[in-house]
Structure 1
Amino acid sequence: MSAFAGFGIFLVVLLGLFVLRTPVGVALGMVAVAGVAAFVSPGALSQLASLSFSISSSFIIVVVPLFIFMGEILAATRIGGDLFRATELWMRRIPGALAVGTIWACAIFGSVCGSSPVTATTIGSMAIPQMLKRGYDKSLALGATAAGGTLGILIPPSIPMIVYGVITDTSIGHLFIAGIFPGILLATLLSATAVFTAVRRPEMAPPITERPTWPQRWKALGAIIPVLCLSFMVIGAIYTGLATPTEAGAIGAAGALLIAWVTSQLSRAIIMRSLDRTIRTTAMFLLLLTGGFFSSFMLSRLGIPQATSDALLSLPVPPWAIMVIINLVLLVLGMFMDPGSIIVIVIPIFLKAVQNLGYDPVWFGIIVTIQSEIAAITPPVGFNLFVLKSVTPGANMRIIARGSIIFVVPMLVCIAILTAFPDIVMFLPRLLLGIK
């Protein structure tokens, strides 16, 4: 059986299990175990057991519950509201100020939270009612929040970056640092889209006539200083080499508890709820990661990554054109698969071709993360869309999707810019960590 025929069978069976609502991690594991037994050899199944133990006992995995816990604790406090208040006060004179403030509040919160849905929910719970109260079009209010929420996985820390790093054996610290400039660039492009919409159609974002005083601005800014300090501590510890990503996660979790305690927002109920959500999310993460490694093992033994690389490299087109093809594939898959599934199933197949084209795995990790952001806001399975529908009374999926889809354009523009100028991604890792 050819490699691509085996891959075709793998995809058909996997999609069938998805249709039956089988959890992604379970479906990946089932198909991989059956595939190894049928197409490789029954004796190779013992290697899957060793692989499973190796993954679950890896020290780097400890970073996942730590960053999740940090984000959950902060999401339970008033930090989200303080961030939105500060950003919208400082940007009050800009057209579409509330939408722009929402995007930058998401960007700042994303620096202490590695989850896109948590970021969108935390900031959206404060921002969306305020935008609707001020007469903003519902699609713009929901779209800006959904798109801004995706910054939670591009600006470090980032759970998808951790998944990518573990799956591809890429330094998570390098990925975190590489995500900073692209995160700022994307936040700027999303903000420009909101401003353009407000200028082109003022009725969608009525201007705010009240002008805040400077004391109000400084007071609002002072309320978010703790979260900014926590962000600098976590990322700074990685930059300077004082801490590994795992150790930085411990600093972040402790810092989040301290902020909640100092601001008198820490309670036993908040701790227990945050621990419960952390345990559930970590369990799903480990199951997905294990299933992903199983499928990667099977596909590697079938020679699919090498066959894919050979097929792509044989195309009579320049490297950037091949990257366009890969991005189009990721874009289409993102409409029907969640970001985690894309990373663990598809990325190991494309990675070898990307490296043979001369692109750095760290750079590709950032591109994949932006594609994961697009997947989070594109119907029919965009997770941020469903999250906002559940937390916004009266919102329907059509309105949310219509508002979100316009923000896919700046995300694609960001990918194009980073492809044309990869040094935007690699500058900080090279400067601070000395990588080539």
Structure 2
Amino acid sequence: MDELLIGGILIVVLFAFLASGLWVALSLVMVAIAGLILLGNDNFGLIYATSTWGAVSDWSLAALPLFIWMGEILFRTRLSNDLFEGLAPWLNRVPGRLLHVNILSCGMFAAVSGSSAATAATIGKMTLPELKRQGYDDQMAIATLAGSGTLGLLIPPSIILIVYGVAAEVSIGRLFIAGAIPGLMLVFMFMGYTVYWAMRNKNKVPHDDVSYSWSEKISALAKLIPIGMLVMFVLGSIYGGLTTPTEAAAFGVVGALILALTSRTLNTDSFYKSLMGAVKTSCMIIFILAGAAFLTVAMGFIGLPRMLAENIALLQLSPYMLIFCLTILFVILGCFLDGISVVVLTTSVVLPMVIQAGIDPLWFGIYIVLVVEMSQITPPVGFNLFVIQSITGKDMLFIAKAALPFFCLLLLAVFLVVVFPGIVTWLPTTMTKN
């Protein structure tokens, strides 16, 4: 049977399974089996066993459950309250005031959780009630949380960067380094827009005549020291070449447990819940990786990646045109799948085209995460939108509309890294030379 015909049938089968509510991992497995059957290959049991074992036994994946567990532990400590109380006095005179707490808190928590959903949930539960109590505009409070909650995908250590690194065989350490500058760029873009909005809508930002002395500000800043030390320790050890990402993740778990103990929020119940939360999330991701590995091998038997790469080469698309087409593809997929599923599902098919076009796989990893960040606040299946809806009880359309400016900012960030790829590649290249 013709490869193109098989590919068309498999796309229909995949979306049929996803629309039916079947797990993403099982959908991938079923599509792979269907493809092999159409090809006349009935050894799918043996192929599944060998392909999935190779995919999930990679040592680099050991960092995944450890970073997830670190985030789960910190999710159950006083970290969120300390972030709010530590940042608030310093933002009192900045236009937008406490709205910036959402952005900076998400940025700092993203650096230790690695998860977009965990970042949005943790910070949202703490900041939204306080912002509402003080009279801040509901729509802007939700918007800053929805946008900056996506930072959990990009600011290292990022779970999705680990998944991409394993799938694309790119150094996870270099991906972490490459994500630092784009992550900081997004933080400044979000804060800049918030300042602009606050100056245009002064009536929607409550006035506060409270002034803080320098001693009070320094005292508040001290509450950020524990989380700051943990971030510097985990990321500094990776950037400095002292540890691998897996070793840094193990040290991060130890540091998170120490923080939880010193804050007196670690008990048998919170420890058990953090451990089970990490196990459930890790198993879900590993299951998706196993299904995607099986699908990748099946696609190899059918010849779809080779055919697509050859057809793209024949079209002679410029790298910019290819990136434009892929951006549309990833945003559409993000409307139906979570970010990790998008990365795992598309990497094996898309990467040959990207390499054929002369695009650096390291740069492409950061690009794809930025686009997936956009999909996190794109209805109907933007994960951050669901998280915020569960916290606020607001209508999904209200939340999606509120998040639209930050979606546009993420789109601008994608444009900037495409036009100026050095934003991504400069730091890892410089550190590698040193």
Q: Fold-level match, TM-score > 0.5?
A: yes
Please say which of residues 234-243 and 81-90 is displaced more in the overlay: 81-90
Contact 1:83–1:224 (CA<8 Å) still a contact in 2?
yes
Whether the aligned pair in 1 keeps the contact of 2:318 and 2:357 (CA below 8 Å) is no
**2:242 counterpart SS class:** coil
After superposition, what is the alpha-carbon deviation per residue over 1:90-122, rounded to whole angstroms, capped at 9, x for unaligned?
Answer: 122222122222111100111111110100111
Q: Does the alignment pair 1:428 with 2:430?
A: no
CA distance in 2, matches of 1:84, 1:39: 58
Q: Cα gap change, 1:34/1:194 in structure 2, threshold over 3 Å: closer, same or farther?
A: same
Q: Quick check: 1:335–1:375 contact (8 Å CA) kept in 2?
A: yes
CA contact (8 A) 1:140 1:204 kept: no
Are the counterparts in 2 of residues 37 and 45 from structure 1 also a CA contact under 8 Å? no
Q: In structure 2, what is the equivalent of residue 301 of structure 1?
A: 301
1:414 aligned onto 2:413: yes
User: Would the aligned equivalents of 2:334 and 2:342 in 1 still touch at CA under 8 Å?
Assistant: yes
Give, in angstroms, the shift of residue 207 of structure 1.
Answer: 4.2
CA shift, 1:148, in A, is 1.0
Partner SS state of residue 97, structure 1: coil
Provide the rounded CA distance (Å) in 2 between the counterparts of 1:425 and 1:148.
19
Q: How does 1:269-280 map to 2 (within 5 A)?
A: 269-280=269-280
Structure 2 partner of 1:268? 268
| Displacement after TM superposition at 1:401 (Å) | 1.1
Whichever residue aligns with residue 288 of structure 1, its letter is: I
- Separation of aligned partners in 1, 2:259 and 2:214: 25
Q: Which residue is 2:26 aligned to?
A: 26
Counterpart CA distance in 2 for 1:208 and 1:292 is 53
Q: Report the counterpart of residue 203 of structure 2 in structure 1.
A: 203
Are 1:159 and 2:190 matched, yes or no?
no
Alignment match, 1:397: 396
The answer as to whether partners of 2:35 and 2:302 remain within 8 angstroms in 1 is no
Alignment partners' CA distance in 1, 2:67 and 2:380: 29
Residues 228, 314 of structure 1: CA spacing in aligned structure 2 closer, same or farther, 3 A cutoff?
Answer: same
Task: Name 1:192's counterpart in structure 2.
Answer: 192
Percentage of pairs with the same residue: 37
Quote the offset at 1:45 in angstroms.
4.3
Contact kept? 1:96, 1:206, Cα under 8 Å:
no
Deviation of residue 58 (structure 1)?
2.3
| Alignment correspondent of 1:250 | 250
* Residue 8 to residue 89, structure 1, CA distance change in 2 (3 Å): farther
| Partner SS state of residue 112, structure 2 | coil
Note the alpha carbon deviations across 1:60-100, whole angstroms, 9 max, x for none.
22111100110011111111121123233212222212222
Relative distance call for 1:20 and 1:232 in structure 2 (3 A) is: same
Counterpart residue type for residue 407 of structure 2: V
CA contact (8 A) 1:87 1:102 kept: no
Structure 1, unaligned runs of 5 or more: none
Task: Output the CA distance in 2 between the equivalents of 1:371 and 1:300.
Answer: 26
Report the equivalent of 2:237. 237
- The alpha-carbon distance between structure 1 residues 203 and 299, as it changes in their structure 2 partners (threshold 3 A), is farther
Paired residue for 1:13? 13
* In structure 2, C-alpha distance between the alignment counterparts of 1:205 and 1:39, rounded to whole Å: 63
Cα deviations by residue, 1:284-335 (Å, 9 ceiling, x for unpaired): 0111110111111122322222332333333355321221111121122212
Matched position secondary structure for 2:306: helix
Give the conservation status (yes or no) of the 8 Å contact 2:117–2:384: yes
Q: 1:335 to 1:207 in 2, by over 3 A?
A: farther
Q: Report deviation, 1:251.
A: 0.6
Shift of 1:402: 1.3
Compared with structure 1, are the counterparts of its residues 6 and 196 closer, same or farther at alpha carbon in structure 2 (3 Å cutoff)? farther
Q: Which residue of 2 aligns with 1:374?
A: 374
Task: Using the TM superposition, give the Cα deviation of residue 254 of structure 1 relative to its aligned residue in structure 2, in angstroms.
Answer: 0.5
2-structure distance, mates of 1:84, 1:313: 51
Which residue of 2 is the match for residue 149 of structure 1? 149
- The one-letter code sitting in structure 2 at the alignment partner of 1:20 is S
Q: Secondary structure at the match of 2:113?
A: coil
CA shift for structure 1 position 23: 0.6
Q: Whole-Å Cα distance in 2 between the matches of residues 295 and 95 of structure 1? A: 50
Q: Which residue of 1 aligns with 2:228?
A: 228
One-letter identity of the residue aligned with 1:265 = T
1:281 Cα deviation from its structure 2 partner: 0.6
Distance (Å, rounded) in 2 between the aligned partners of 1:64 and 1:268: 23
Unaligned runs of 5+ in 2: none
CA distance in structure 1 between the aligned counterparts of 2:383 and 2:205, rounded to whole angstroms? 25
Equivalent residue number for residue 131 of structure 1: 131
Is the 8 Å Cα contact of residues 36 and 45 (structure 1) preserved in structure 2? no
- Residue in structure 2 matched with residue 36 of structure 1 by the alignment: 36
| Inter-partner Cα distance in structure 2 for 1:140 and 1:69 | 31
Q: Which moved more, 1:314-323 or 1:186-195?
A: 314-323
The code of the aligned residue for 1:427 comes to W
Q: Which amino acid aligns with 2:112?
A: V
Matched letter for residue 368 of structure 2:
V
By how many angstroms is 1:44 displaced?
5.6
* SS of equivalent residue, structure 2 residue 114: coil
Aligned length: 434
The one-letter code of the counterpart of 1:407 is F
Q: CA deviation at 1:268?
A: 1.2
- How far off its partner does 1:211 sit? 2.5
The 1-side partners of 2:400 and 2:348 are apart by 30
